[in-house]
Structure 1
Amino acid sequence: MNQITTCSFFKVKGFSDKWWAFKQMKKGYNSLKDVPGLAFYKLLGSGGKNGFSSIPNFGTYVLFCVWESEEYARGFFKENPLYEVYQKRSIENFTAYLNAAESHGSWDGVQPFIKSSTMEPNKPVVVLTRARIHFNKLWSFWSKVGKVSRSLESYDGLELSIGVGEWPLIQQATLSFWSTQAEMLDYAYKNKRHKEVILLTKKLNWYKEEMFARFVPYKFEGVWLGKNINEILSKEEKDSIGA
């Protein structure tokens, strides 16, 4: 069996559904702890504005899962009661299926990913960056990252992006979907704003813990921004996933 990772995105509307989804960030863990084949999982909220912000977006949530195999994931999406409620309460949702290509660091003390794929320069890639910020570094961090987030908005090759996290302000992550590895690397190593923050990260010691991972996506299912998710990604639109 080959490990896979899935990211399920849910957009909710109305106070009742937003409040329910918000509560699942804590309550939902009890419903997931005994799911067969589920090796690692996180229930994540999102940031407002352009998707990466200290201000929460109560309308978008993410279920991030690492599975022992796709067969287990399929069983979950077909039969799990919590996932069924997420679908019923969301106005639209989609799931990305991913194979890990490389990773370093840890997430809550765990390295959850097993490499099962290799990136290619002209093929799509999904990037996860996640960090736990030192409490006494919060102001310094948030005063700088906004410029980097804005620099992503119109960058060539970026299809979708969102800032997510387990806890507002302190535990933050970014999920970004790129048309090609080459375009992602161009941003990572040539974008001025991004390079500045990488240097500041080392200089100012913002993070108590960090995780960086790249994935090769092999399947997408669902609807987002009113369209089939495959249609959005194939057209390389510059929409924000958290819009």
Structure 2
Amino acid sequence: MIVTLTIVRYKPFLIPFALLAMAIHRIPLCFDKKCSFWKLMGCGRNGTFDLNPDWQQWALLAVWDSKEAFENSTFIQAWWNSLAYEKWTIFAVPIASHGKWDKKEPFGKPAPDNTFSGPIGVLTRATIRLSKLKGFWSNVQPVASIMDSSPGYITSVGIGEAPFFRQATFSIWENVESMKAFAYSSKEHGEVIRKTRQEDWYSEEMFARFRILSSSGSLNGKNPLSIKNQEPTTNQPAGRQATNNQ
């Protein structure tokens, strides 16, 4: 099993094609027997749960039989290569997963493995109860601000299937220790977790961790996983999370 998260960016005048892709790309994904799970999603502007969509940035998260199966998804790859001006893909394997996504367990039930070193990806997704939207969104920003400045934090993307109530964040950390320090030592994060349980914000939720195998391409002119060793890609916009309007 290989899990991919691809983030693509379109020029402003090609945004209609980005919206069209959300419908058209469902067809080859539905018929691809080597893809067991997929989600086509929009992106927020601030790298976490976000009320402000970035119409230039879109995401595909999928589970494949192999890396080659992803690379052989020729129609989608050709679409991205022709119409998107930037593409970044993470290749990962799940090492822990709890909860469900649309009543499925797309990453199986991997035995927790915290013995490896290197970058770790964390997926947090939820379907927020409509009656709890106000409470949820009023608590997002304080935690997002702390995560952004936490030791070992590399980057994150806010992704979602629907505005406001079907949201997810994929964050990447230098190692397990830095991820755990944020998750378990942050007072603000702990308070939000407590409210989540006490106030029953979610009708469905999932938390998963991944060992990052590799990444390719760029986002905002650089590969976030190779920032220390890689100069910004030429002719690409620079910046942190994709918030520009190139």
TM-score > 0.5, shorter chain as reference:
yes
Quote how far apart the aligned CAs of 1:116 are: 7.9
Q: 1:41 aligns with which of 38, 41, 53?
A: 38
Please give the TM-score of this superposition, normalised by the length of structure 1.
0.89
Matched, 1:104 2:104: no
- Please state whether the residue corresponding to 1:166 is helix, strand or coil: strand
Structure-1 residue corresponding to 2:233 = none
Give me the CA root mean square deviation: 2.1
Q: Does the 8 Å contact 1:46/1:242 carry over to 2? A: no
What is the aligned partner in structure 1 of residue 170 from structure 2? 175
1:82 Cα deviation from its structure 2 partner: 2.4
Task: Return the alpha-carbon distance in structure 1 between the equivalents of residues 107 and 159 of structure 2.
Answer: 19
Match of 2:143 among 137, 148, 164: 148
Deviations 1:93-150 (A, max 9, x none): 1111101101010000000113388333642100000000001111111111121112
The answer as to whether partners of 1:162 and 1:175 remain within 8 angstroms in 2 is yes
Q: Distance in 1 between matches of 2:166 and 2:61?
A: 15
Residue 125 of structure 1 is aligned with which of 120, 127, 149?
120
1 CA distance for matches of 2:21 and 2:228? 28
Structure-to-structure mapping, 1:28-107, within 5 angstroms: 28-76=25-73, 80-107=74-101
> Aligned equivalents of 2:229 and 2:91: distance in 1?
16
The Cα shift of 1:8 comes to: 0.7
List runs of 5+ in structure 1 lacking aligned partners. Answer: none
Contact 1:100 1:116 in 2 (8 A): no
**Further displaced range: 168-177 or 42-51:** 42-51
Gaps of 5+ in 2: 231-238
Change (3 A) 1:125 1:50: closer
Distance in 2 (CA, whole Å) between partners of 1:168 and 1:55 is 9
Structure 2 length-normalised TM: 0.88
Tell me, in whole angstroms, the C-alpha distance in 1 between the residues paired with 2:225 and 2:52.
Answer: 29
Change (3 A) 1:194 1:230: closer
Counterparts of 1:75 and 1:116 in 2: how far apart (Å)? 29
Give SS of 2:164's match: coil
Paired letter, 2:137: W
Q: How far is the alpha carbon of 1:225 from its aligned partner?
A: 1.8
Task: State the distance in 2 between where 1:72 and 1:98 align.
Answer: 14
Q: How many percent identity over aligned positions? A: 33
